């Protein structure tokens, strides 16, 4: 069945991969983006596709009239820690006012609302792996708080519209996602290190590199959102991979895969940097039949190809 679907942040890194999959499934998609960190170049390969409409707008402000909708994926938000200081107010706005604007639209149209939340709601977690039942360990006034707290607020708002207004809602908690279309100057570890390796510059490791992350490939992440949207499960669901690795090992892997002559340079640790992060995926597995399909080496090789063309 062909649906009318709105994707906010549709020109962004993850949003554009989601738009690709939705179009492939035969839906009519409206992508809205204000270009703050996204780029319409990410959807340029759909030029002329009548099933895709692209709208330049800031969803934190008033929403344009999108007509009848079946699903609203709210994926708009800067997401790289590098953006947390320069775009602090924009991040707070899009996850609070932007989320409420989309929820009101869902209430009006009867659409299902899907909120792209984050593993950052767990902060610097004191339990590992992190199940959805974990309440988190967030510094409410630290440099990361604009992202962490606004996503937590977005989740609270989503649950309030679910409980109080009967809106069909879904919440995804994304763990670190990487892949083609990350910005070259995005600042996140995968893009930084691949670009550095391709330029034979030292790979920057913040702190001692023992902090861990679990890296999920963008196609798997986008597919997880679609599975969740089409399920009837309204509580938060972690999406990512359970393969956890120290950041310094990621640097070594990227040097090997790029055949780079780069070494590693240690820089001061980022403030409030979570020491470990790994999803408990049992809910995604049980409720959605979700399993990641792309292994880290395979996904990194795809991403390296993307950056070879860009650097
Ligand atoms: N990091 C790093 N070097 C970089 C960029 C990031 O060592 O050039 C570290 C960062 O301190 C963190 C991890 O890599 O421990 C992941 O950082 P990223 O910014 O990708 O996302 P986060 O998981 O912190 O949201």
What is the C-alpha separation between 90 and 197, in angstroms, rounded?
A: 32
Q: Which of these ranges, 25-34, 59-68, 268-277, has the smallest mean pLDDT?
A: 59-68
In contact, 263 and 199? CB cutoff 8 Å: no
Q: How many CB atoms lie within 10 A of CB 57?
A: 16
Three-state DSSP class for residue 6: strand
| Confidence check: pLDDT of 1 > 90 | no
Q: Of the residues 37, 78, 81, which should be mutated to test ligand 1's pocket, given the most ligand atoms within 8 Å of the CB?
A: 81
Q: pLDDT band at 156, cuts 50/70/90?
A: very high
Domain count, the chain: 1
Residue 76 sits in a domain whose CATH number is 3.40.50.720
**Mean residue pLDDT across the chain:** 98
What is the C-alpha separation between 275 and 255, in angstroms, rounded?
A: 23
Residue 300 forms part of a structural domain: no
- Report if pTM > 0.85: yes
| Confidence check: pLDDT of 19 > 90 | yes
For the stretch 221-276, pLDDT in tens is 999 999 999 999 999 999 999 999 999 999 999 999 999 999 999 999 999 999 99
Domain coverage including residue 141? 4-181+216-242+278-293
Query: Distance from the CA of 270 to the center of ligand 1, in angstroms?
Result: 8
In contact, 159 and 169? CB cutoff 8 Å: yes
For the stretch 83-94, pLDDT in tens is 999 999 999 999
Q: For residue 192, what are the contacts with CB-CB under 8 A and spacing of at least 6? A: 186, 203, 204
Percent of the chain with pLDDT over 70: 100
| Confidence check: pLDDT of 301 > 90 | yes
Residue 41 forms part of a structural domain: yes
Residue 205 forms part of a structural domain: no
Residue 189 forms part of a structural domain: no
Backbone Cα Rg of the chain: 19
Residue 66 forms part of a structural domain: yes
What is the C-alpha separation between 4 and 71, in angstroms, rounded?
A: 7
Ligand 1 environment, Cβ below 6 A: 81, 176, 188-189, 192, 204-206, 211, 213, 247, 270, 273
What is the C-alpha separation between 10 and 29, in angstroms, rounded?
A: 9
Residue 260 forms part of a structural domain: no
Find tokens 């279309």 and name the residue. 181
Residue 110 forms part of a structural domain: yes
Q: How many CB atoms lie within 10 A of CB 156?
A: 12
Confidence at residue 85, expressed as pLDDT on a 0 to 100 scale: 97
Query: Distance from the CA of 311 to the center of ligand 1, in angstroms?
Result: 20
Percent of the chain with pLDDT over 90: 98
């Amino acid at each position: 069945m062909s649906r009318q679907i709105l994707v906010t942040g549709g020109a962004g890194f993850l949003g554009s991969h989601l738009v690709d999959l939705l179009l492939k499934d035969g839906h009519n998609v409206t992508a809205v983006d204000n270009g703050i960190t996204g780029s319409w170049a990410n959807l340029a390969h759909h030029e002329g596709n009548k099933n895709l409409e692209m709208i330049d707008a800031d969803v934190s402000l008033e929403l344009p009239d999108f007509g009848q909708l079946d699903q609203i994926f709210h994926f708009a938000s800067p997401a790289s820690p590098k953006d947390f200081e320069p775009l602090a107010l924009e991040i707070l706005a899009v996850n609070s006012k932007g989320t409420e604007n989309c929820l009101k639209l869902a209430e009006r149209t009867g659409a299902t609302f899907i909120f792209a939340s984050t593993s950052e709601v767990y902060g610097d977690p004191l339990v590992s792996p992190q199940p959805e039942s974990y309440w988190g360990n967030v510094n409410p006034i630290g440099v990361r708080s604009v992202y962490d707290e606004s996503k937590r607020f977005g989740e609270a708002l989503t649950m309030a519209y679910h409980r109080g207004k009967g809106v069909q809602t879904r919440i995804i908690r994304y763990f670190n996602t990487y892949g083609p279309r990350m910005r070259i100057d995005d600042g996140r570890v995968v893009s930084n290190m691949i670009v550095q390796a391709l330029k034979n510059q030292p790979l920057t490791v913040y702190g001692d590199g023992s902090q861990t992350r679990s890296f999920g490939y963008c196609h798997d992440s986008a597919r997880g959102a679609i599975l969740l949207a089409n399920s009837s499960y309204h509580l938060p669901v972690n999406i990512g991979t359970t393969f956890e690795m120290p950041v310094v090992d990621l640097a070594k892997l990227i040097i090997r895969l790029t055949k780079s002559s780069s070494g590693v340079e240690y820089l001061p640790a980022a403030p409030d940097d979570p020491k470990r992060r790994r999803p408990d995926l049992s809910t995604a597995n049980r409720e959605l039949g979700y399993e990641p399909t792309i292994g880290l080496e395979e996904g990194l090789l795809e991403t390296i190809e993307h950056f070879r063309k860009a650097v």
